Structure 1
Amino acid sequence: VPLLRRMSHLEERTLHVYILNRPTFVNGIHLHKEILIYMPRLDKLTFYIKTTNEINGSIHRLCNDDIQRTFSYTNHRPVISIVDYFGTYKAACHVFSLPFPFHRLQWITNNFPPIIFSSVTDLKLSDTVRFKPEFFIRIARSFPSLKYLFVRNIRSPLWSFRESSSVNDRSYSIVEYSHLILLDIDFVNIDYVDQFLNESKTRLPCLTELVVQFNALKNVRENFTGDATRRNCAKVKRLIIKNLIDFPKDVYRYFSSL
């Protein structure tokens, strides 16, 4: 912040900041009082600021609207805020200007806004609440340029993704990630492995790198004999399975590009 205050001559500025364990979320008032008033010539501010902090039961919980109202103090571009609470121990707040120009967005939850992030190619998803099938449809639509996707969620859906793919259930569209080349699903419930690799639910025409747990992969792929996941894995050239150095022969037969 002191360095920014000395840049009073700037007319444009881009900020991409992560702040850990700050007592309060960074909001529009903080941005105005700590930075903007020291930059009188600033005409264009592009920013992404994420604040994470530990919380306790007595803290007053702010919502998206609470943070959003604080940006009435600024006269710059439209601003979006996302506030997430993870149980009773952690909270995170993202605030950013629109349009979103950055290539990376980290630790997005179910609580993300219905806007298009055209520039984002690298995305991390994580939540303590289950991801429903429609969530992945929203992700594909909101991030059309996605190339690298990391998913963290150990919460099992209330119903299985595999059960939802029965012949009589076609309530959800097939999700396609047209440009995705890397998928990391190492730390997820097995049903999410099925959601991504089963071509009746998801299509990954460009996938070349996969990070996954062996047991989940083996079960979803029916001991590497099923056809439902074969097409999504046909172009995978790099398979990363932690704590496994030598793959069984069936893996090489299934992943024909290894």
Structure 2
Amino acid sequence: MKNCFKTPFRHIFQQQITDLILVFENNLNEISIKNYTTDMYEYILKFFENLKHLSVMGSFPRFFPPLVLNNLPSTTFFSSILNKLSIHIMNFDDCLALLDGRLKQLTTLILVIDNMKNHSSNVYHIDNLSNLKCFSLTIYDCLTDLYDTEILPLFRRMINLEELTLYITIRNRTTLIDGNHISNEILIHMPQLHTLKFCISIKIHRNHFIHYLSKNDIQQSFSNIKYQQMDCIVNYTYNITTYQIFSLPFMFDCLKSIGNIFPSIIFNHVRRLTVYDDVPFRHEFFHRIAWSFPLLKYLCVINFKPQSSKLDKLNLNYNQLFSVIKYPYLISLRLDMAYIHYTDQFLNQTKTHLPSLTKLTVDYERLNIVTRNFRKTTTRLNCSKIKQLIISPPIMNSIVTNMRRSKHFNLYFPLLESCVCSLEDE
């Protein structure tokens, strides 16, 4: 890694570069994470002597190595001049380590954590974070007790914070996080705060839920918060109720677990979306999705209910009442957890147009049926640009081999580069 800094301009780079943005274009999960922290991230801080701004990014957080400071010396990843850091970290321990004094001049900190399922294993001595002015925290999966015992106490130390961005999904909660909670548990400790952006998703098992609130109740609880407008989505599925409260305009690139009922808002920043319900998604629902999420690139559909009233038979005939839905930027589509009707909904060009689709995750049998063993004309166009096909559930390698040798299969997927079986959730 360090060889990349061996250049005739080494001295100039060391002295003059103050802002560095490191972009990962490929999935580097196979790299030793802890070694990457010391061999790359720490080396960057040592090499660039006047570095004040470091951002590490990729196409999606888990596609590049996170910073890992747990069980490493407190002198690791140390800087006396860095004032802005944006990076993906392994767990909340690493967040606490970054704030233990090793980055004393830090004023802006932007962190992404994939999941937060364990309590902090180390003791960190963190004083009031008086220098911190801007803090952004994204956690895609967090247990409720960790939110209460780890995150909220940290917020209380950010006494001079001016901008807070919070995107978090919390599981196993028995009470809602509403405007009253945000005011009493967070904002009261941040008297200088003037900008608040948030998307808080709470997943609650219905038999654990003590007090239900309507959408109007939740919105009313924000009436005393002076910041921008907010909205919420309530989705009832099986035994789980999902509440999502968020500030407007919606500034995040990911939204999960919305169902048939969601507000008529244009989510211009959302690129990744999961739709999930135990009530069927009709054709009109996907029209609304296309309108509300005009720049959508990644879509996952989870619904085990048939679209039509015929539960035992797939109707593949063209319906004259359908108007074609267009997703001009959609590059990845996941249908392996959806009823067979949804495979037809998206692959049938008389219903949906997918000019940019390059990755498809789908059940093998459903794909076979919908495409009529890769012979159906109306499902050919939306498959023509696919480069990566992920088959679920896992099937025998011999079946995949025979499928790839099929003339009709190859005509269906002329640009295919990879066809693999899905062994686990992506």
TM-score of Structure 1 vs Structure 2, range by shorter chain: over 0.9
2:351 pairs with 182, 185, 201, which one? 201
Q: Which amino acid aligns with 2:413?
A: F
Report the CA distance between 1:182 and its aligned residue: 0.5
* Structure 1 runs, 4 residues or longer, greater than 4 Å off: 57-60, 160-165
Aligned equivalent of 1:233:
383
Report the CA distance between 1:205 and its aligned residue: 0.2
Q: Answer with 154-163 or 47-56: which moved more.
A: 154-163
Q: Which has the higher contact order (CA 8 A, sep 6+)?
A: 1
Aligned equivalent of 2:410:
252
Relative distance call for 1:14 and 1:57 in structure 2 (3 A) is closer
Aligned-residue Cα RMSD (Å) equals 1.8
Alpha-carbon displacement from aligned partner over 1:78-135 (angstroms, at most 9, x marks no partner): 0011122224x22111000011111111111111110000011111111111101110
1:173 pairs with 323, 335, 359, which one? 323
3-state SS of 2:234 partner? strand
Aligned equivalent of 1:13:
164
So what's the TM-score if we normalise by structure 1? 0.94
Aligned equivalent of 1:218:
368
Q: Which amino acid aligns with 1:115?
A: I
Measure, in 2, the Cα distance between the counterparts of 1:158 and 1:116.
28
Answer whether contact 1:25 1:52 (CA < 8 A) is retained: no
Measure, in 2, the Cα distance between the counterparts of 1:204 and 1:79.
32
Query: Any stretches of 5+ residues in structure 2 without a counterpart?
Result: 1-151, 417-426
Alpha-carbon displacement from aligned partner over 1:204-230 (angstroms, at most 9, x marks no partner): 000011000111011111111110011
Measure, in 2, the Cα distance between the counterparts of 1:65 and 1:102.
23
Query: Any stretches of 5+ residues in structure 1 without a counterpart?
Result: none
Report the CA distance between 1:157 and its aligned residue: 1.9
So what's the TM-score if we normalise by structure 2? 0.58
Answer whether contact 2:174 2:208 (CA < 8 A) is retained: no
Aligned equivalent of 1:159:
309
Q: Does 1:189 align with 2:189?
A: no
Report the CA distance between 1:165 and its aligned residue: 5.0
Q: Does 1:25 align with 2:176?
A: yes
Answer whether contact 1:146 1:177 (CA < 8 A) is retained: yes
Instruction: Give the aligned length.
Output: 255
Q: How does 1:61-72 map to 2 (within 5 A)?
A: 61-72=212-223
Question: Of the two, which has the highest radius of gyration?
Answer: 2
Measure, in 2, the Cα distance between the counterparts of 1:220 and 1:112.
29
Measure, in 2, the Cα distance between the counterparts of 1:76 and 1:182.
35
Aligned equivalent of 2:278:
128
Q: Identity over aligned residues, as a percent?
A: 43
Relative distance call for 1:194 and 1:68 in structure 2 (3 A) is same
Measure, in 2, the Cα distance between the counterparts of 1:213 and 1:158.
19
2:290 pairs with 136, 140, 164, which one? 140
Relative distance call for 1:199 and 1:158 in structure 2 (3 A) is closer
